Chains A and B, each alone.
Chain A
Amino acid sequence: MILEMLSWVFLVAGGLLGIIGGIGIHRFPDFFSRLHAAGITDTLCAALILSGLGLQSGFSLVSFKLVLIFAFILFTSPTASHALANAALHGGVKPQLDD
C-alpha cells in the first residue's frame, strides 16, 4: 500500500517534470538555453518515472532492466546534448548571452 502510493508519487512527479521541461523549451529564448530545459527531462524526470515503475514491478528482472535503461540514458544523453551543442556552435548558431 505504502509502496503503491510512493510509486505513484514518483510517477506523477516525473510526469510533471516532463511537462515543466516542455514549458521550458517553449519559454527559453535560444537554442542553447532550450537545451538546459531538455536536460530536466533527461535526468530527474527519467529517474523519477523509472523509479516509480521500479516500485511497481518490485524486485525482479523487470527492475534490473529499468536500472539498465537508466544507466544507458545517463551515459548517452550528455553525449547527445554535447553533440547537438557542438554542432550548433560549428553551424554558426549565435547564443544570446547576458553580460
Chain B
Amino acid sequence: MTHIISLTITLSLLWLGLSGHVEPLMLAIGVASVFLVLFITLRMEAVDHTRYPIHFTSSLFRFWRYLVREIILSNIDVIRRILTPGKSISPQMITLPLPQKSDLAKVMYANAITLTPGTVSVQLDRDTIMVHALSKEAADALETGEMASRVPDDEASS
C-alpha cells in the first residue's frame, strides 16, 4: 500500500513538473493519466520493492554523495591520463567478488563501477563481476572493496 501511495505521489509530481499546466481540463487529463499508469503498473504486478525501492532512501542518498565524489575524482584522473603525452594507461581486466546479497544492490554496484570513468563492468555473474580498468591504480582502488561496502544492501530480500 505504501508503495502504491508513494508511486501515485511521484507520478503526479512528475506530471506537474513536466507539463506546468494548472488549468482544470489539463489537470483532469493529468489525473486520468496518472491513474491509467497506476492501473497498468498494478496489472503488471510491477509494484514491489525491487522495482520501486523506497525502503532504503536515506542510505541511498549517503551512497550517492560518496558516488559523486568518486566520479569527480576519477574524472580528473582519466582527464590527466588523456592529456599526458606518451603511454599513460595500463589496462587491466580483473574479477571481483560481489558481496551484496540482493540483485538490486549488485546492479547498483555494477552501475557505480561503470559510472566512474576508468572502470567499466564487463560481465556480471551470480557472485563475481569482471571489470575492465584503465589503469593499475583504478583496479587496485576497486580491489580494496571500499565501493562495494558502501552500496546500500537489502538485508530482508537476500
Main secondary structure, interface of A, reads helix
B7 touches A (CB below 8 Å): no
Q: How large is the interface on A (under 10, 10 to 19, 20 to 34, 35 or more residues)?
A: 35 or more
- What is the minimal beta-carbon distance from B65 to any residue of chain A, in angstroms? 14
| Cβ of B89 under 8 Å from chain A | yes
Q: Which of A26-41 contact B (CB under 8 A)?
A: 27-28, 30, 32-33, 35-37, 39-40
A89 within 8 A of B: yes
B38 interfacial by beta-carbon distance below 8 Å: no
CA distance A32 to B131 in the complex (A): 10
The verdict on A33 contacting B122 (CB below 8 Å), with A39-B78, A39-B117, A85-B132 known, is no
B72 touches A44 (CB 8 A): yes
Question: A97 within 8 Å of B by Cβ?
Answer: yes
Q: In chain A, residues 4-30, which have Cβ atoms closer than 8 Å to a Cβ of chain B? A: 17, 20-21, 23-24, 27-28, 30
Specify which chain B residues have a CB less than 8 angstroms from the CB of A21 in the assembled complex: 82
Least CB distance from B156 to A in Å reads 24
Does B17 lie at the interface of the complex (its beta carbon under 8 Å from any beta carbon of A)?
Answer: yes
Query: Which residues of chain B are near A81, meaning CB under 8 Å?
Result: 114, 120
* CB within 8 Å for A85 and B79 given contacts A61-B20, A97-B93: no
Are B78 and A98 touching (Cβ within 8 A)?
A: no
A91 CB to closest chain B CB, in angstroms? 12
Q: Which residues of A contact B110 (CB under 8 A)?
A: 78, 82
Spell out A's residues near B (CB within 8 Å): 17, 20-21, 23-24, 27-28, 30, 32-33, 35-37, 39-40, 42-44, 61, 64-65, 68, 74-75, 77-79, 81-82, 85-86, 89, 95-98
30 contacts between A and B (CB under 8 A): A17-B75, A17-B79, A20-B82, A23-B82, A28-B82, A32-B122, A33-B89, A35-B132, A36-B117, A36-B119, A36-B134, A37-B82, A40-B78, A43-B71, A43-B117, A44-B72, A61-B17, A65-B17, A68-B17, A78-B114, A81-B114, A81-B120, A82-B110, A82-B124, A85-B121, A85-B122, A89-B122, A89-B130, A96-B91, A98-B89
